[in-house]
Amino acid sequence: MKYISTRGEAPSLSFEDVILTGLAPDGGLYVPEQLPTFSQAEIASWVGLSYQQLAFKIIAPFVAGEISDSDLQAIIDKSYSGFRHDAIAPLVQTAHNEWILELFQGPTLAFKDFALQFLGNLLDHILKKRDQKVVVMGATSGDTGSAAIEGCRHCDNIDIFILHPHNRVSDVQRKQMTSVLTDNVHNIALKGNFDDCQNMLKASFGDQSFLPEGRQLVAVNSINWARIMAQIVYYFYAALALGGPARPISFSVPTGNFGDIFAGYLAKQMGLPIDQLVIATNANDILHRCISDNDHSKKELIHSLSPSMDIMVSSNFERLLFDLYDRDGSAIKQLMEDFKTGSMHLSDKALASARALFSSYRLDDEETIDVIREVFENDEYLLDPHTAIGLQAARKTRRNQDVPMVCLSTAHPAKFPEAVRKAGQDKDPALPHHMADLFEREERFEVLDKDLAAVQKFIASHVRA
Ligand SMILES: *Cc1c(COP(=O)(O)O)cnc(C)c1O
C-alpha cells in the first residue's frame, strides 16, 4: 500500500518508509492512498477472535507486500503480551447500554501503550531487516514518554531520548520514565516548559546533522501513522463484543491531538457501523469550538486536571480535513497557510460533513471533578479525569439510548491522583501490583538548560556505536 501526504506535494511512500519518516517533506501528514474496507459479512465472521487475531485482520491490508503474515502476527502477539488483562481491552458496564472500554491495562497505564508497544516492535522488525540503527527522539508532557520508552526499551537498533519539562510532569509519570535503566534509554529534564521541549524536537528533526554518521531521527508522537493504525483495532473489538456489526455502536473519546478518535473515524470508513463519534475535550476546546461554531482558533494553553489533553492545536485534525476536502492537497495547504494567522474557517460543505460525523462536548476542571465524584458514589467505579470527560460528554450528547455507547478509558486513575483527591477520595488510588514499588525504584535523568546545542551534544554523545 502507498501512503500520500495531506498537502499533496510530497512523493508517496511505502508503509515502512512512512513509519521511519514522520512529517512529510511538504509539512503534511501521511495517510493511506486508499483505505481498506471490509464487508459486513467479513466483519461478522470475526466474532469471538482474540484481540491479537482481530488486530491481524485489521492491520494486514495496511502492510501488505512489506511484512509477511507470520511476522505481523508475531509483532502483534509480542506487543500485547505485557497487558495485565487477558481481554487486552476489557469492557465494563456503567449504566444501561453504556460501557467503559478500559484501555489502560498496558505497562504504563494509559491507552498509548496500544500504539507504542506495537510501534516499538514494528520498528525493531523493520530496522533488523534493513540492518539499520535509528535514534528515537520525543517530547512529552506525561503519558507519551513512558509509553514510548516501554515500547522501545528492548529494541537493539534504537537509542531513545525523551525530553520532559523539568519539575512539570507528575511524580508517577516521571518515575515511569526515569526508572527504566537500560543503556539505550535516556531522559532529559529540560529547564523549560513543554513548548520548549517541542521546539527542541522540531529544530532537531529539521537539521539532523548533529547525529553520528548514518543515524536518523524517528518520531513517535501521534502523527506517526503506525500509532493511528494500531488504534483502529479496539473500535472493532468493542463493537464485536457488543453485537456489532449487526447493530451500530457509538463511541465517546477523550481527545487531545485527535489521534485516538481519528482511528474511530477510520474504523467507520472501513465498514464498521458506528452511529455517534463524540469528541470530548477539556477547557482546551479548539475541536469543540470548531465543530459547534466553526471557530478553529488558537487560544492560550490552560493547564487542566486532564493534562494529556492540554493542547492548543490538534495535529491529526489535518488528516480528517484532507477527507472533508475530498482529498484535495492544495486546499489543505491553503487552509494550513491561513491557520498560521491563528485561526481558520471550514467551508460550509466541510463543516456540514464534520457535524454529520462528530458530536462534541467540553468540560472544565470543576465539572470533571463532579463527574468523578458522582460516578464513584453511584457505582464505586473510579474514573481518571480524562475518562470522566469522555463519559460525561457521552451522556450529554447521546442521541439514541438503544445504541450501545462505549466510552474509551484512556488512563488508570492512579496516574492522576490530584484529580482523584479533589473528587473526594481520601487516599491516592493504588497503583497496580506490577508497579506497587514504583516510588522505591532508582531513577536516572539528565537535567539540561534550554539550549539546543547542549541537548544535541548530550544526544550525540550517548548514541551507542
Ligand atoms: C494522549 C492522551 C489522550 C489524548 O489522545 P489523542 O490521541 O491525543 O486525542 C487522552 N487521554 C490520555 C490519558 C492520554 O494519554
In 3D, which of 95, 123, 119 has the Cα closest to residue 106? Answer: 119
Does a structural domain hold residue 243? yes
419 lines ligand 1 (CB under 6 A): no
Would you state the pLDDT for residue 358? 98
Determine which residue's CA is closest to atom 4 belonging to ligand 1.
256
Does a structural domain hold residue 75? no
The CA 169 to ligand 1 mean position distance, Å, reads 15
Q: What is 97-118 written as a DSSP string?
A: TEEEEE---STTSBTHHHHHHH
Give 158's strand partners.
134
In 3D, which of 403, 410, 405 has the Cα closest to residue 388? Answer: 410
In 3D, which of 372, 357, 224, 349 has the Cα closest to residue 279? Answer: 357
Residue 349 DSSP symbol: H
Does a structural domain hold residue 401? yes
In 3D, which of 406, 312, 297, 416 has the Cα closest to residue 368? Answer: 416
Q: Do the Cβ atoms of 114 and 408 come closer than 8 Å?
A: no
309 lines ligand 1 (CB under 6 A): yes
Span 204-243, pLDDT tens digits: 999 999 999 999 999 998 889 999 999 999 999 999 999 9
In 3D, which of 305, 308, 302 has the Cα closest to residue 259? Answer: 308
Does a structural domain hold residue 336? yes
Q: What is the four-CA torsion angle of 410, 416, 417, 421, rounded to 10 degrees?
A: -80
Is 112 labeled as catalytic in the residue annotation? yes
Helix (H) or strand (E) holding 212: none
Residues of the domain holding 274: 86-109+225-422
The CA 411 to ligand 1 mean position distance, Å, reads 9
Atom of ligand 1 nearest to the CA of 258: 9
Cell matching residue 103: 484501555
The single residue listed with the C-alpha cell 516492535 is 121
254 lines ligand 1 (CB under 6 A): yes
The CA 128 to ligand 1 mean position distance, Å, reads 30
Would you state the pLDDT for residue 293? 97
Give 217's strand partners.
135
Beta pairing, strands 446-448 & 274-281: unpaired
For 163, 197, 203, the CA distances from 448, given in Å and listed in that order, are: 10, 11, 16
Does a structural domain hold residue 403? yes
- Answer positive or negative: Cα dihedral of 207, 211, 214, 218: negative
Would you state the pLDDT for residue 360? 98
For 102, 105, 349, the CA distances from 87, given in Å and listed in that order, are: 10, 9, 41
Q: How many helices (H) and strands (E) does the chain have?
A: 18, 15
Q: Check which CATH number belongs to the domain holding 392 and give it.
A: 3.40.50.1100
Q: Do the Cβ atoms of 195 and 453 come closer than 8 Å?
A: no
The Cβ of residue 378 has, within 10 Å, a number of other Cβ atoms equal to 10
Q: What is the four-CA torsion angle of 252, 253, 254, 257, rounded to 10 degrees?
A: -150
Does a structural domain hold residue 47? no
The single residue listed with the C-alpha cell 460501557 is 99
Q: Pocket of ligand 1, candidates 177, 235, 266, 386: which has the most ligand atoms within 8 Å of its Cβ, to mutate?
A: 386
Which residue among 57, 78, 112, 298 is the active-site one?
A: 112
Span 43-74, pLDDT tens digits: 999 999 999 999 999 999 999 999 999 999 99
Q: How far apart are CA 261 and CA 281, in angstroms?
A: 12
260 lines ligand 1 (CB under 6 A): yes
Q: How far apart are CA 372 and CA 188, in angstroms?
A: 33
The CA 284 to ligand 1 mean position distance, Å, reads 13
Q: Pocket of ligand 1, candidates 172, 225, 251, 410: which has the most ligand atoms within 8 Å of its Cβ, to mutate?
A: 410
pLDDT average per 10 residues of sequence, the chain (465 residues)? 96 96 92 98 98 98 97 98 96 96 96 97 97 96 91 95 92 93 96 90 93 94 94 98 97 97 98 98 97 96 92 94 98 95 96 98 98 95 97 98 98 93 89 90 96 97 94
Would you state the pLDDT for residue 445? 97
Give 13's strand partners.
3
DSSP helix/strand/coil, 368: helix
At residue 320, φ and ψ (nearest 5 deg) are -70, -45
Q: What is 206-221 written as a DSSP string?
A: H--TTS-TT--EE--S
Q: How far apart are CA 293 and CA 205, in angstroms?
A: 35
Q: Do the Cβ atoms of 417 and 172 come closer than 8 Å?
A: yes
Which residues lie below 8 Å from residue 266, measured CB to CB, with a gap of 6+? 35, 228, 232
Q: Pocket of ligand 1, candidates 146, 262, 279, 308: which has the most ligand atoms within 8 Å of its Cβ, to mutate?
A: 308
The Cβ of residue 325 has, within 10 Å, a number of other Cβ atoms equal to 20
Q: Do the Cβ atoms of 75 and 155 come closer than 8 Å?
A: no
Atom of ligand 1 nearest to the CA of 259: 7
Does a structural domain hold residue 366? yes
Contacts 24+ apart (CB under 8 A), 434-443: 434/84, 434/107, 435/109, 435/176, 438/172, 438/175, 438/176, 438/179, 439/171, 439/175, 441/175, 441/179, 442/179, 442/181, 443/174, 443/175, 443/178, 443/179
The Cβ of residue 342 has, within 10 Å, a number of other Cβ atoms equal to 12
- The tally of domains found in the chain comes to 1
First to last CA, the chain: 34
Atom of ligand 1 nearest to the CA of 411: 13
Would you state the pLDDT for residue 170? 86
The Cβ of residue 21 has, within 10 Å, a number of other Cβ atoms equal to 18
Would you state the pLDDT for residue 434? 87
Does a structural domain hold residue 303? yes
The CA 316 to ligand 1 mean position distance, Å, reads 12
Atom of ligand 1 nearest to the CA of 104: 13
The CA 401 to ligand 1 mean position distance, Å, reads 26
Would you state the pLDDT for residue 222? 84
Q: How far apart are CA 238 and CA 256, in angstroms?
A: 21
